Amino acid sequence: MPDKPNPDRPLTDDLPTDGPLADGERHLDPDDWHAFRALAHRMVDDTLDFLSKVETEPVWHPMPDAAKETVRGPLPRAGRGESETYKAFAESIQPFTNGNRHPRFFGWVQSCGTPLGMMADMLAAAMNPHCAGFEQASTYVEEQVIEWLRQLMGFPKGSSGILLGGGTMANFVALAAARDDRAGFDVFTEGLQSEHPPLVFYGSSELHGWAPKTANLLGIGTDSFRVVGVDQRYRLRLDELRAAIARDRASGRRPFCVAASAGTVTTGAVDDLDAIADLCRDEDLWFHVDGAFGAWARVSSTHGDAVRGMERADSLAFDLHKWGYLPFEIACVLVRDAAAHRRPFAISGSYIVPTERGTLSAGLPYADLGLELTRGFKALKAWMLLNAYGVDRIATILDQNLAQAGRLIELVEAAPDLELLAPTDLNVVCFRVQREGYDEGQLDGLNREVLMRVQESGVAVPSSASPGGRFGLRACFVNHRTRASDVDRLVRVVREVSTQVRAD
C-alpha cells in the first residue's frame, strides 16, 4: 500500500466550484441548504426526544389504519418536498415499531440500538463509502473492528473476518468456506454436478433456521443437514453425532462440518464446544460455531466459561445487532484459515485490478470475503461503540443482562402460578403460567392468550417458545436499557393478566 502520493500530481485549486445549474440540470441536494439545515436539526432533535423518553411510551401498540394509509399511496410523480415527507414519517412511521428499543422488550433476540450507533449510521451514510475496499478510511476502520473482534473472541492472529448484514449471512459465509475447504474436490470450478460423494453437515435440532436455508443455497439440499438430537439441557448429543457420522461414512457420504450452537435461540443452550472441537479434530471435520448472540458471553465476567471451546472453532458467526447492542444491521464472521475464507468468494475482474497508487491501491479485500460487492459502512458504529464506551463497560452490561435472566428465573420459581419450561446456560428464560386442573392443551391456550394480552397491554413484550412441545413465554435479555425493576414488572403483568383469562 502506498504511503505517499505521487509528488508530481497537479494542483487542484483550479477545479470548478459550485456554479449555477445550466438549463434543465437537476440534482437531489436541497434547493435551500439553509432551510434544509433547520429541518435536519429538527430531525435530530425529535429523534433524540423520542429515544430519551422511550420508557414513558407503551412498549408496543398496533399501527392504526390511518397511519397505514399515509404510508400507502400512488407512485408519486411530483414530490411533495422534504418537510412534508418528514412530517408523514414523524406521524405515521416513527412511532410504530415492534418495540425493541424499549427497556421492557424481551422478545426474540433484537438489540435496542444506541443513540451513538444511530448517529454513527447517519455519519456513515453521509460519508457513503463503498466498502468493498479502496484506499479510504472505511477500509482501515473495518480492518480494525475485525481485529478487535478477533481478540474479543479469542481467535488467533491471522484469522480472517468480515462484517455482514446478520447472523444468517455470517453462518452462510462460514458454511460456504467449510464446504469448499472440506469437499475433497474443487467446488468453485466443478460445482456439485460431477460425481463426488454427497456432502453432509451436522447440527442439533435446536440449531437456528439458517441451516436449512444454507444447505439449499450451498446446493447440497436440506437432507444433507443432519439433525442431531439434544439432551435434557437442549445441547447436541455427542453419542448421536458420532453414530450419525459413522453411518454417513459407511454409506459413502462425505461429512464436512459440525455446526454447534453457542446460545440456541429457543432456550440459550450452549453445546459442549470443547467436546465437539475434539471430535472435529479427530474426524477431520470443520468446526463451526453459531454464536449469534451467545458468543458475547465470552466477554462477560461471570459467564465466559459457558462458551469455553468456542475459540477453537474453524469459523464463528455472531451478531453485533443482538447482544452487541448496536442498531441493525451488523454481524461478523471470523474464519481461522484466511485462505479458506476467500476460496468461495475471491474472483478477479479487470475493473478491480488494484493499481500501485491511487484510489484502488488498497484493493477490494472485502469483495473477496462474502457475496456482496457494494457494501455500506457498518464498521463505523462498531468502531465508535468500542471507542466511546470500551469493552469493560460493555462487559458490565452483559453481566447485568445475565443477572436479569437469573432474577427472572428466581421470580418464576418463587411464584406458585408460574413454572420454568427449560434450563438456560445464558440469557434466555422460557416459562409459563400454570393452573391447577388444566391439561396440556388448556395450558397452551391459556399461555397463548396471556402472551397476546401482555403484548397488547403495552407494559412488556415477551415472545413465545415451545421447548419440549410445551407452549410458553420467552424472555431474552439483550437490552442495555432493561433494569431489574423491569424484570419485576414483566412478572407482575404476566400474573395480573393471567388472572383475567378464565377457563373456557
Binding site for ligand PLP (CB under 6 A): 109, 166-168, 208, 210, 263-265, 290, 292-293, 319, 331
HSE-up of residue 294 (Cα within 13 Å, Cβ side):
31
Exposed / middle / buried, residue 56 (Cβ in 10 Å: 0-12, 13-18, 19+): exposed
- What amino acid occupies position 317? A
Radius of gyration of the chain (CA): 26
Cβ–Cβ under 8 Å, residues 335 and 160: yes
Closest residue to ligand PLP, based on beta-carbon distance? 167
CA distance 60 to 461: 7
How many CB atoms are located within 10 Å of the residue 325 CB? 23
| Distance of closest approach, residue 502 Cβ to ligand PLP, in angstroms | 35
Report the SS3 class of residue 455. Answer: helix
Closest CB to ligand PLP among 331 and 490? Answer: 331
| Distance of closest approach, residue 464 Cβ to ligand PLP, in angstroms | 15
Cβ–Cβ under 8 Å, residues 100 and 111: yes
CA distance 492 to 100: 20
| Distance of closest approach, residue 378 Cβ to ligand PLP, in angstroms | 12
Strands (E), 382-427: 418-420
Closest CB to ligand PLP among 208 and 343? Answer: 208
Strands (E), 262-405: 286-290, 315-319, 331-335
Closest CB to ligand PLP among 146 and 331? Answer: 331
| Distance of closest approach, residue 206 Cβ to ligand PLP, in angstroms | 9
| Distance of closest approach, residue 288 Cβ to ligand PLP, in angstroms | 12
Closest CB to ligand PLP among 286 and 293? Answer: 293
Closest CB to ligand PLP among 204 and 264? Answer: 264
| Distance of closest approach, residue 207 Cβ to ligand PLP, in angstroms | 8
Chain centre distance of CA 319? 4
CA distance 174 to 316: 7
CA distance 476 to 111: 10
| Distance of closest approach, residue 123 Cβ to ligand PLP, in angstroms | 23
Question: Taking the chain, what is the end-to-end CA distance rounded to the nearest angstrom?
Answer: 73
The angle at the Cα of 121, spanning 120 to 124, to the nearest 5 degrees, equals 85
| Distance of closest approach, residue 303 Cβ to ligand PLP, in angstroms | 16
The continuous run of DSSP H or E covering 45 comes out as helix 33-52
| Distance of closest approach, residue 267 Cβ to ligand PLP, in angstroms | 11
Closest CB to ligand PLP among 290 and 425? Answer: 290
* Buried b or exposed e, range 24-47, using 16+ CB within 10 angstroms: eeeeeeeeeeeeeeeeeeeeeeeb
Closest CB to ligand PLP among 152 and 270? Answer: 270
Cβ–Cβ under 8 Å, residues 110 and 100: yes
Closest CB to ligand PLP among 241 and 289? Answer: 289
How many CB atoms are located within 10 Å of the residue 483 CB? 14
Closest CB to ligand PLP among 263 and 327? Answer: 263
| Distance of closest approach, residue 168 Cβ to ligand PLP, in angstroms | 3
CA distance 303 to 268: 12
| Distance of closest approach, residue 461 Cβ to ligand PLP, in angstroms | 17
Closest CB to ligand PLP among 326 and 443? Answer: 326
Closest CB to ligand PLP among 268 and 363? Answer: 268
